[in-house]
Structure 1
C-alpha cells in the first residue's frame, strides 16, 4: 500500500461514523459509506519503479506494479460469497503515455498502446478482492541511464471518490550490489566474526548517499557502536520474528561503476545457543531527506561512537557482488532432545494418567528459520492391555511400522534451548499385564545436531513388578524392547509431523488435533525469546532432517531490532 493510501485510511478511521456508518441496503452486506457522501476509494500499487540497465528486472512474467482499489471497511474473512460494499459501474484509467521513449509497459484490462481502461461493478472492503491487474515494465530499445517518466492511474464512478496513483519510473539510476559473503571457517557458537562488507554501484548514475542494513536473528547481535548507526532489538512476540537490526547512513557520493568497503570492521557476535541463525546485510541508495528521519522512531537506539565510513576500493568485479548477501551460522552447534516416559498401576477397568515429557537440553535452540517453524514429531504406542482414552491435541492417531496402532505427536519450532514440554495421555487398563511397556520414540534418524541419541526413546510402563531391573519409564535403557520396534515411519512411511498451525513463541509445541482426543500441552522452563527469518533452517520431520535453503530478500523491510 502506498503512503497516500495509509494516510487516507488513517483519516477515515479517525472520522469514525462520518466516513463509515450505515449498513448496505437489502441484499448488499458489509459496511457502506455515510448516506449522501461519496465512497472514498484509493488506488494502490508501487509508486516507484527503478529499471536496471544490467539485469532483466526480475522475472519477465511478473509485474512490478500490482494495482488494487482500497475501500473502507473490514475485509471479509469468512466462507461463502464476499459481501459487496458498493455496487455500480466504475472505470479506472491507466495512462502510461509518460513512458514513451523511456520504457515499455504491459498494461492490464482493455489496453490501447500506453493507455488502458479497467471497468468494474462490485467493490469490497479492503484490497484483497479489488485487484485491477499488474503492470510489467521493461527497457525500451532507446532507454538510457537517467530517463524518467510517469504512470498516472485515475478512476471515476457514480457515488465514488477516487484518490489517484502516480508511479514514478526511472531508468539506470543508482544500483547497489553487496559484496558476496562466505561462511567463516571453524566459527563456533559464542564466537564473533568480521564479515567483509562492501558495496558496488553498478547503475548508470551516482548514488547520493547509501543506507546499510544489518540483520541478525535471535542468536546474533552487533556489539559495535557507531555514531551514524541506530539499532532496534525485537525480543518479544513470536520467535520467528525476533531479531536485531542496525541501520547506518553514509551521506557521501557513490560513483557509478565504483566499489566501496568499510573503513573499519563490523563484528557479528553469535550467542552460545546459536545454530543456523541468519545474518544478512544490504546497501541501498539514501533517499533525499531520509538521513534526518531514518534513525528516529520508537525503540531505536542511536549510536554514540565514532562514525562508520566508506572508503573507495580498487577495481572490483560486479560478479563478486550480489543483490542478496546472507549466511546461516554457526553450523557446528548441537542440541539434545530428550523424551521421558511415565509409569502407573491399576486394576482392569481403571483409567490412569501417563504424562510424556519432551525437552531440549541445549545448548542450541532449534530455529527452523527457513522452514517458517515446520514441526517435527515423535510416536507413542500404548502398553499391551491398554487403550488410549484421551490424547493431547498435538497428537493424532497413526499406524506405526504399518500395523501397530499409535499416535504421532507434533512439536512446533522454533524450540528454545531449554524448552520443557509435557504431553498428558490417559489410558484405560483393559487387561492387567505385569510390566507392560509402550514405546515413545523420536524418529530413527541420522541427526548430526542431536548430541545424545540414547534418550530419544522412553517407555510408558503399567503395573511394573517390584523386582529391580524390570525397566523403568525414563529414557532408553538400552535393553531389549517389550513393545514394537523403534518406529522410523508412521502413516505409511510419511515424513514429518502435521503442520502446527502456529509458530511457537515460548518453546511450546503445536500440531494437528487427533480425533476426539482431549487434553492440553503444558510448558515449563524458560520464557520465549526472539527469533527471526533468514538463511538455512532445520525442518525436522518423522524420519528425516531436512535442511531447506530459501533465498530471502536481504533488504526486505520489516520490524527491526538490534
Structure 2
C-alpha cells in the first residue's frame, strides 16, 4: 500500500468501520448506501517504478504494479461466500498516456493504447478480493536515462468516493550493485573476519547519497561502530528472523558509472554456536529526507565516520545485486535420542517418553530452507501397540498398516534444545525384554558429530535390572540405560504431555507456534546437504500429511 493510501485510510478508518458495520447490520447495499455518506475507496498499488537500462526489469510476465481497491472494514477470513460491502456499477480508468516516449505499458482490462477502463459491480472489505489488475512496464526504443512519466488511476461509481493513485515511472535512474563476496578461509566458530565491501552505480543518473545495510543472522555480530552508522538487534521472536542490522548513511554523490569501496573493511564476529549463519549487505540510493529518519530508535555508533572512496577501472562483472555469505561452515552439532523402559501385564497400558536433544555446540538455523523438521522413527516393542502419540508424531505408514510412528523435531533448533515425545503403549502380550527401535535416518550428515547416539530403545518387561541384555542405545552414553529418564526430565526443560515441540530451557520460547513448538519448515540437515534426498524416509510426503493434520487442528482451535 502506498504512503498516500495508508494516510488516507487512517483518516477514514473510523468512518469506514461505521459504514461497513451499518451495512452488515442492516443488510443495505448499493443504492441504499448511496443515499448516505459515500463509501471511501482507495486505489492502491506501487506508486513508483524504476526501470533499469541494464536488465530485463524482472520476469517479463510479471507486472510491477498490482492495482487493488482498499475498502474499509475487516477482511473476510475463512470458508464460504465472501460478504459484499457494496453492490453497484463502478469504473476504474488507467491513463498511461504520460508514458509516451518513456516506456511501454501493458495494461489490464479493456485497453485502447495507453488508456484502459476496468469495470466492476461488487466490493469487499480490505484489498484481497478487490483486485483490478496488473501493469507491466518495459523499456521502449525511445527510452533514455532520465526519462520520467506518470500513470494516473482514477475511479467513479454511484455511492463511492475514490482516492486516485499516481504511479511515477523513471528510466535509468541510479542503480547500485554490490561488490561480490568471497568466503574467507579458515573461519572457525568464535572467530572474527573482515570483508572488503564496495558499490558501483551502473545507472544512468548519479545517486544523491546512499545507505549501506549490513545484516547478520543470530550467530553473527558487528563489533565496530562508526559515527555515521547505527545498529539494532532483534533477539526475540521467531528464530529465523533474529538478527543484527547496521545502517550507515553516506551523503556524497555517487556518479553514474563509477565504483566506490569502504574506507575500512567491515569486521564480522561469529558466535561459538554459529553454523552457516548468513551475512549480507546492500547499498541503496538515499531518498530525499530519508537520512534524518533512518537512524531514529537505533543505537548510534561512535568514533570516526565510515566513508566511501572512489575506485578506478572497476569491472562491472565483479558487482552483483545480491551479496551474501554463509559462515562459519566448520561447526558441528550432536543430535541425541534417548529411549525408555516400562513394565506391564497383558492388556495394561503404560507410558513411555522418548527424548531428543541437541548437545551442540552449534545451533541448527535452517536459514536457507526456512526451517524443516528433523524426523525420526519410533517402533513399538514386540507384543505392544501404540495407543497415544504426541502431536508432533504421525503413523509412518500411509495406509496405517505400519505400527511405527514418524516424529518431527522442529528447526531452527537452539544449541541446547531439548524435546520430549510421550507415548502410550498397550501390552497386547507379554514378551520378556521386548524392544522397540527409536532412530534417526541413516544419512551422511557432515554436521553430526556423534552418530552413536542416533539410535535408542524402548524396552518393555526387561528381565532383571533395567539395562541388562544390551538394551541401551547403539553407541553407549545416556541411551545405554533404557530405564533412564528421557532427555529433558527433571531439568525444567521438558514439554507437556501432548507437546513435543518446546525448545531448550535457555531459549526455546522465541518462535513458538500455537502448539508450543517452533515453525515446522526446513531441516538444516536437509538444506545443508545440498539438495540430497529428504531423510531417505519419504519425509516430503510425511511432512505434507503432518502439516495438513496440524492445519486441521489449528483451524479447530481457532474456531
**Residue 390 of structure 1 pairs with residue 388 of structure 2:** yes
1:539 aligned residue: 526
**C-alpha separation in 2, matches of 1:28 and 1:416:** 54
**C-alpha separation in 1, matches of 2:321 and 2:41:** 36
Superposition pairs for residues 168-183 of structure 1, below 5 Å?
168-183=168-183
Task: Output one character per residue of 1:430-482: Cα deviation in whole Å (capped at 9) or x when no partner.
Answer: 1111111000000011111110000000000011111664134556459xx9x
* Alpha-carbon spacing, 1:294–1:195, altered in 2? closer, same or farther (3 Å): same
User: Structure 1: any 5+ residue segments left out of the alignment?
Assistant: 482-506, 511-517, 547-562
Tell me how far 1:62 sits from its aligned partner.
1.1
**C-alpha separation in 2, matches of 1:310 and 1:201:** 13
The answer on whether the counterparts of 1:178 and 1:324 sit within 8 Å (CA) in structure 2 is: yes
2:551 aligned residue: none
The answer on whether the counterparts of 1:214 and 1:279 sit within 8 Å (CA) in structure 2 is: yes
**C-alpha separation in 2, matches of 1:536 and 1:198:** 34
2:322 aligned residue: 324
The answer on whether the counterparts of 1:96 and 1:114 sit within 8 Å (CA) in structure 2 is: yes
Q: Which moved more, 1:211-220 or 1:536-545?
A: 536-545
* Alpha-carbon spacing, 1:260–1:529, altered in 2? closer, same or farther (3 Å): farther
Superposition pairs for residues 97-246 of structure 1, below 5 Å?
97-246=97-246
Tell me how far 1:133 sits from its aligned partner.
0.9
User: Structure 2: any 5+ residue segments left out of the alignment?
Assistant: 481-492, 512-517, 528-533, 540-559
Q: Which moved more, 1:429-438 or 1:13-22?
A: 13-22
Tell me how far 1:64 sits from its aligned partner.
0.8
1:360 aligned residue: 358
Task: Output one character per residue of 1:86-129: Cα deviation in whole Å (capped at 9) or x when no partner.
Answer: 11111111111111111111111111111111110111111111
**C-alpha separation in 2, matches of 1:185 and 1:123:** 59
TM-score (norm 2): 0.85
**C-alpha separation in 2, matches of 1:196 and 1:265:** 5
2:420 aligned residue: 422
**C-alpha separation in 1, matches of 2:294 and 2:340:** 56
SS of aligned partner of 2:21: strand
Task: Output one character per residue of 1:377-402: Cα deviation in whole Å (capped at 9) or x when no partner.
Answer: 100000011111110011111249x9
1:451 aligned residue: 449
2:431 aligned residue: 433
* Alpha-carbon spacing, 1:544–1:4, altered in 2? closer, same or farther (3 Å): farther
2:60 aligned residue: 60
The answer on whether the counterparts of 1:150 and 1:166 sit within 8 Å (CA) in structure 2 is: yes
Tell me how far 1:528 sits from its aligned partner.
3.5
Aligned length: 507
Tell me how far 1:303 sits from its aligned partner.
1.2
SS of aligned partner of 1:348: coil
Superposition pairs for residues 492-507 of structure 1, below 5 Å?
none
**C-alpha separation in 2, matches of 1:5 and 1:423:** 49
* Alpha-carbon spacing, 1:522–1:212, altered in 2? closer, same or farther (3 Å): closer
SS of aligned partner of 2:225: coil
SS of aligned partner of 2:248: strand
**CA RMSD of superposed structures (Å):** 2.9
Tell me how far 1:72 sits from its aligned partner.
1.1
* Alpha-carbon spacing, 1:50–1:454, altered in 2? closer, same or farther (3 Å): same
TM-score (norm 1): 0.85
**Residue 289 of structure 1 pairs with residue 289 of structure 2:** yes
Higher relative contact order (CA 8 A, sep 6+): 1
SS of aligned partner of 1:367: coil
Tell me how far 1:241 sits from its aligned partner.
1.5
1:491 aligned residue: none
SS of aligned partner of 1:121: strand
1:492 aligned residue: none
Q: Which of residues 434, 440, 443 is equivalent to 1:442?
A: 440
SS of aligned partner of 1:6: helix
SS of aligned partner of 2:10: helix
**C-alpha separation in 1, matches of 2:14 and 2:414:** 41
**C-alpha separation in 1, matches of 2:205 and 2:358:** 53
The answer on whether the counterparts of 1:375 and 1:539 sit within 8 Å (CA) in structure 2 is: no
The answer on whether the counterparts of 1:539 and 1:545 sit within 8 Å (CA) in structure 2 is: no
1:514 aligned residue: none
* Alpha-carbon spacing, 1:17–1:102, altered in 2? closer, same or farther (3 Å): closer
